Amino acid sequence: MELFDVYSLFDVTPVKAKGCTIWDSEGTQYLDLYGGHAVISAGHCPDLYVRAIAEQAARLGFYSNSVQNPLQKELAHLVGEASGYPDYSLFLDNSGAESNENAAKLASFHTGKDRIIAFRKSFHGRTSGAVALTDNPAIVSPFNAGHKVTFCELNDAAGVEEQLSRGDVAAVIIEGIQGCGGINIPDDTFMQDLRSLTSRYGACLILDEVQSGYGRTGKFFAHQWASIRPDIISMGKGIANGFPCGGILVSPEFKAVKGMLGTTFGGNHLAMAAAIATLQIITSEKLIDNALKVGQHLLETIPSKAPVKDVRGRGLMIGIEMHENVAPLRNALLFQKHIFTGVAGKNMIRLLPPLCLSIEQADTFTKAFNELI
Ligand SMILES: Cc1ncc(COP(=O)(O)O)c(C=O)c1O
């Protein structure tokens, strides 16, 4: 049997990794400025993380959500303390898209309404509702397109209010920083407007922090730069440093009803061991402060003159927009300089490294980048 061929692959086979370093099957060493698409938060294979998963696998790998699982409560406590949301509750699932599905469903249950406002250039995942909330017709099938979704322009509070005033909107969903759409940072004042407008018109505010959350931008969640508190916050990617895991933080205003949300694998013992170890490492090694410091250094040292058009981001979520297509540059970074990077669209190199990236490693990237442009 062959694989269903949907991914464009680089001809490189990683077999081992530590911190921000990856080795391939030929023994070639790479610097990781991509983090497997913002997933590796605590660095590759930290000892505590490896031990926690191995010991949990040897003890109990899985049992269903019909029995007590103290690891879920331990994670909820840790996330509440680390994020500044100790009064919210945690529902655990398996991925970013599933978190957004649950967020949208919960908002719809809560308000009794069925339309959701999303934004131009958004990405919220590939499952039915999540992809309908994604502004990319190429990946929305006719089946997905049945959801009631309206796209507004980022930073257009008047446009959002016009939609909300119609009275049928369950939620507004927005990324803390748009990732796939090209590292677009919503204005702090716009975020504050969304908070007050959704409250005024009886809609929920959902913050998709799947990519921008868990310390990546130098705060636990990117929306905390705007000092707002959303109703629901969705998480994924960095939450368990590569072990599949997602979740939503739910404000105390929501009432849990037995059976309203559910999943077979969400919150399983192995994922919890991975997620607890990840957060312990992020906290004890002060990786959120590191993300801010090293991210700031990158923003100050990456050149912003031609052929670079713009360098923007927060913490270790950085986009380098070029005047030309970046595919050849990304190839050269990988195969000549042995540095993994991501892209957003055709003209942007996207940096999403592990949060433990050092200043020296950041400088290695910038030097290689300068040599290639
Ligand atoms: C902002 C955002 N939301 C949701 C998702 C979907 O997450 P997953 O691929 O884990 O379903 C992504 C993935 O890139 C994302 O960047």
**Domain final position from 257, 284, 311:** 284
Structure tokens at 302: 């990456």
| Distance (Å) from CA 115 to ligand 1 centroid | 21
| Distance (Å) from CA 123 to ligand 1 centroid | 7
**CATH code for position 169:** 3.40.640.10
**Domain final position from 284, 318, 348:** 284
Ligand 1 pocket member 208 (CB < 6 A): yes
**CATH code for position 316:** 3.90.1150.10
For each of the chain's 373 residues, which pLDDT tens digit applies?
999 999 999 999 999 999 999 999 999 999 999 999 999 999 999 999 999 999 999 999 999 999 999 999 999 999 999 999 999 999 999 999 999 999 999 999 999 999 999 999 999 999 999 999 999 999 999 999 999 999 999 999 999 999 999 999 999 999 999 999 999 999 999 999 999 999 999 999 999 999 999 999 999 999 999 999 999 999 999 999 999 999 999 999 999 999 999 999 999 999 999 999 999 999 999 999 999 999 999 999 999 888 999 999 999 999 999 999 999 999 999 999 999 999 999 999 999 999 999 999 999 999 999 999 9
- Residue 164's domain comprises 48-284
Atom nearest to 244 CA in ligand 1: 10
Mutate to test the pocket of ligand 1, among 122, 124, 180, 245 (most ligand atoms within 8 A of CB): 124
Atom nearest to 127 CA in ligand 1: 11
Whether residue 204 lies inside any domain: the answer is yes
Atom nearest to 175 CA in ligand 1: 1
> What DSSP line would sit under 27-67, residue for residue?
--EEEESSHHHHT-SS-BS-HHHHHHHHHHHHH-----TTS
Whether residue 2 lies inside any domain: the answer is no
pLDDT of 87: 98
Ligand 1 pocket member 175 (CB < 6 A): yes
| Distance (Å) from CA 261 to ligand 1 centroid | 20
Q: CA 292, CA 114: separation in Å to the nearest integer? A: 38
**Domain final position from 254, 284, 314:** 284
Ligand 1 pocket member 179 (CB < 6 A): yes
Atom nearest to 122 CA in ligand 1: 1
Ligand 1 pocket member 123 (CB < 6 A): yes
Beta strand 348-351 with 342-344 is antiparallel
Q: What is the residue with the minimal CA distance to atom 4 of ligand 1?
A: 124
Whether residue 58 lies inside any domain: the answer is yes
Query: C-alpha angle 125/180/236, rounded to 5°?
Result: 45
Structure tokens at 9: 């692959």
| Strands lying side by side in the sheet with 204-208 | 89-93, 246-250, 232-235, 204-208, 169-175, 115-119, 149-152
Check: pTM over 0.85? Answer yes or no.
Answer: yes
Ligand 1 pocket member 180 (CB < 6 A): yes
| Distance (Å) from CA 350 to ligand 1 centroid | 15
Q: CA 152, CA 5: separation in Å to the nearest integer? A: 33
Rounded to 5 degrees, what are φ and ψ at 239?
A: -60, -35
pLDDT of 215: 98
Ligand 1 pocket member 213 (CB < 6 A): no
| Distance (Å) from CA 197 to ligand 1 centroid | 26
| Distance (Å) from CA 246 to ligand 1 centroid | 10
Atom nearest to 130 CA in ligand 1: 4
Atom nearest to 246 CA in ligand 1: 10
| Distance (Å) from CA 326 to ligand 1 centroid | 22
Whether residue 3 lies inside any domain: the answer is no
Q: CA 70, CA 267: separation in Å to the nearest integer? A: 10
Whether residue 230 lies inside any domain: the answer is yes
Question: How many independent structural domains does the chain possess?
Answer: 2
Same domain, 154 and 223: yes
pLDDT of 304: 85
Element (H, E) at 348: strand 348-351
Ligand 1 pocket member 96 (CB < 6 A): yes
Mutate to test the pocket of ligand 1, among 174, 210, 221 (most ligand atoms within 8 A of CB): 210
Query: C-alpha angle 261/266/271, rounded to 5°?
Result: 160
* Under 8 Å between Cβ of 234 and 207: yes
Same domain, 216 and 279: yes
Same domain, 215 and 362: no
- Sequence-ordered strand ranges (E) for 6-125: 14-18, 21-24, 29-32, 89-93, 115-119
Length of the chain: 373
Burial of 204 (0-12, 13-18, 19+ CB in 10 A): buried
Q: CA 218, CA 242: separation in Å to the nearest integer? A: 20
Same domain, 78 and 34: no
Same domain, 239 and 262: yes
